[in-house]
Amino acid sequence: MSTATLTSLLDYLYGTLSADNMRWVAEHLMEHARQKDELSKKPYTMEEINAILDEAEKNIAAGNTIPSEQVWLELEEEFARTDEQYASPYVCES
């Protein structure tokens, strides 16, 4: 979800929820994030690792890859958009 979409959602929630309801939503979101975080910490089994590697090798053999140059270009574009989005209008350049 984009930052703009999340900001719009927050603005909507601020305008419609009471402080108690916002705390309730925040607590439940934090608990959900903690649970997902715990699940993501589970180490892979050797079978899972081998299956991931097998899938990657099949994709490489089939040519289903993205050139590193394209990945770097997309990352640089994303970073530039983020820099522009968070640039402060109050910063003076000397």
Domain boundaries, the chain: 1-42, 45-89
Rounded to 5°, angle at Cα 33 from 75 and 82: 25
What number of residues does the chain have?
94
C-alpha–C-alpha distance, residues 94 and 91, integer Å? 10
Residue 49 confidence (pLDDT) above 90: yes
Q: Name the residue among 47, 52, 6 with its Cα closest to residue 29.
A: 6
The whole-number average pLDDT for the span 1-29 is: 85
Considering the chain, what is the average pLDDT of its residues? 85
Q: Please count the helices (runs of H) and the strands (runs of E) in the chain.
A: 4, 0
What's residue 54's pLDDT? 96
